[in-house]
Every structure is written in C-alpha cells, then in structure tokens.
Amino acid sequence: MSTLRSYWPGLALAGTAVLLSIGASALLGPAIGALTVAILLGVVAANIYPLPETVRPGLRFCAKNLLRAGVVLLGLTITLDEVAQLGWDGFLLLIVVVGATFAAGILIGRAFHLQRAATILLSTGTAICGASAIAAMSSVLPDKDEEIDDGAAVAVASVTLYGTLALLIMPLLAAPLGLSDVAFGAWVGGSVHEVGQVVAAAAPLGETSSSAAIIVKLTRVLLLAPLVIIVGLILRSSGNGSSKGRAAIVPPFLIGFIALVVIGSFLDFPEWFLTSAEVAKDILLAAAMFGLGTGVIVKQLLKQGLPALAVGGVITVLMALLALLAVFLVIG
C-alpha cells in the first residue's frame, strides 16, 4: 500500500501534463500530436526547476508500465483485413522499405558516433510510427536510463520536425511526380512518421488518398512488434544486452499488442468501445512520454542533439525515396 501511495504525486503531475498536451495538440493541429507535446512538457518541467523526489516513483511508473499498456491498446487500431488490402507485393515491399530504413539508420548513426540508444530509437521512430514506436522500443533497450531518455528526446524531436516538413512539402510534389490519388496516399503512408502527420499530408488530395495513406501507415505500425523482437534477439546474440534486455526478447506487452490485432480482426467491437480504447491509448502514451521527458537533461541532450537531427534528416529522405520507388513498382 505504501508503494502504491508513493505513485500518486507523480501520477497527478503526469495527469495534469496529459490534459495540457491534449489541449495544446487540439489547438496546434495534427502535425504536432499530444505525445510530442507531452515529452516537451516533461523536458521543460525537468530543466526549469528540479522536480521533487516525491514525484519520481509515479513518473517512472508512467514511463514503464503505462507505456506498455498504451502500446497494447495500439493493437486495436489495426486489422488484418486492412493489411490484406495492400496485397502480398505491397506488403513485402513495405517490409523492405522499413527494414532498409532501419538498417540505414543504424549504420549512419554509428558513422555519426551517436549513442546506441539514440541510434536505435531514431531509426525505429523514422521507420515505423514516430513517438509510439520510440516509446515501445525504449522499454526493451538494455542501455542506461539516462541514455534511453536522451535518445528518446532527440528521436521524438526528429520525427516531429521532419514529419511536419513532409506534410507541408509532399502534397506539392504529387503533380510533378505524376502520382495518382492512391499512389500519393501510399507514398505518404509509407514514409511520413506520425499517424496524425500522415492524415494531414494526404488530406489535400481527398478521401481516396487519405484511405490509402492510412492503410499503408497502419501496416507499418503492425511491423513494430517484429522489429522490437528482432532487435532484442540481435542484442542478446551480440552479447551487448543486459539481463534486462535478455528478459525482454518477446515482452508480454508486445504479445498483448499482437493479440489485440488478431482479436480486433475477427470480432466486431462497437464504435463506442473502439473510441474509448483510442482515448485510453492516447492518455496512457501521453503520460508515458511525459515521464520519459522528465528524465531528459538539456545540457546532456545538446551534446548529441544536432548530430542526431542530421541523421534523422538523412534517413527520412532515404525512406521517402524508397517508399516512392515501391509505389512506382506496385501502383505505377
């Protein structure tokens, strides 16, 4: 009971931050989601004035436990029917695009001498689905907590910056590239980071473009689970993982994520249930990102922030080019 009581100050602070994040996101639009605002609030809170020790247990609970619960609920946003609409050719090419982007991010991050946590999180966020993927991968890395927090901060900054630029620039390229509405939507879904950014980028070309973008994007989200498992296996086989990393090769929360994808594909949940789950997922992940943000010290972040943003820019452009090539191969 005393342990549970120690969580309340941090949970109350995180809850306040979640409300502020959701409100700010509603004002700023889909380009800057609540998760991004939440981690920024966490960074500000931790660096303007030292947080009291009484909030630390609750914030750690948010960054670890609430994070995993949010990722599990993410599984309800995807169905196997949506993935099937891509066809085998499209699905396999998407795997190649995601895998090549992640591998390139790892190699480029090493060339820039980034810390391992920053390199992996930056590559994951760019290749999969932005802040949600960064949060999921951060929970299974064996690195030191401060390295994970700093890496998560620069990774979120990267996907926010370049995702926002993409939603402004990509609609202007549809006509010069000769892309149909479906082809443009597939390109956006295959390369833009956050779900909200995908929706905003595809919207100018209409409903057909938006539908194609969302289908491709949600299929990328589905690839989060296997990517996290593969990274865990590689870390263990290389001998670089700690006991924490070895214990998390197939984390229970990823099993829950996959289970909800399968269950949601075969059961017809009522709309109110899915809406409630969506809201709960956003709240849990926003609280988790705030908790992660409070672990970031700006002075330490600046030591690797600019190189990480440079790496993020390079792999964002690379993914856009690979996704465009895949679109031409599948759709023409």
Task: Return d(Cα 260, Cα 257) in angstroms, integer.
Answer: 5
Supply the DSSP symbol for 193.
S
Q: Quick one: pLDDT at residue 188?
A: 95
Residue-number span of the structural domain to which 60 is assigned: 2-330
Are 118 and 147 a contacting pair, CB within 8 Å?
A: yes
Q: What is the pTM of this model?
A: 0.76
Domain count, the chain: 1
Q: Give percent of the chain with pLDDT exceeding 90.
A: 35
- pLDDT for the residue 244: 46
The band of 77, judged by pLDDT with boundaries at 50, 70 and 90, is confident
Which residues, 6+ apart, have CB-to-CB distance to 313 below 8 Å?
158, 162
pLDDT digits (tens, 9 = 90+) for 39-70: 789 888 888 888 888 998 999 898 878 878 88
Mean pLDDT computed over 72-88: 84
pLDDT tens per residue across span 250-293: 667 778 888 998 999 999 899 999 999 989 988 998 898 888 77
Give the model's confidence band at 249: pLDDT under 50 very low, under 70 low, under 90 confident, else very high.
low
Beta-carbon contacts of residue 181 (< 8 Å; ≥ 6 apart): 205, 206, 208, 209, 212
3-class SS of residue 176: coil
* 278 contacts 196 by C-beta, under 8 angstroms: no
Q: Tell me: pLDDT of 127 over 60.
A: yes
Q: Are 101 and 318 in contact (CB under 8 A)?
A: yes
d(CA 208, CA 193): 20
> Would you list the DSSP string of 198-222?
HHHHHGGG-HHHHHHHHHHHHHHHH
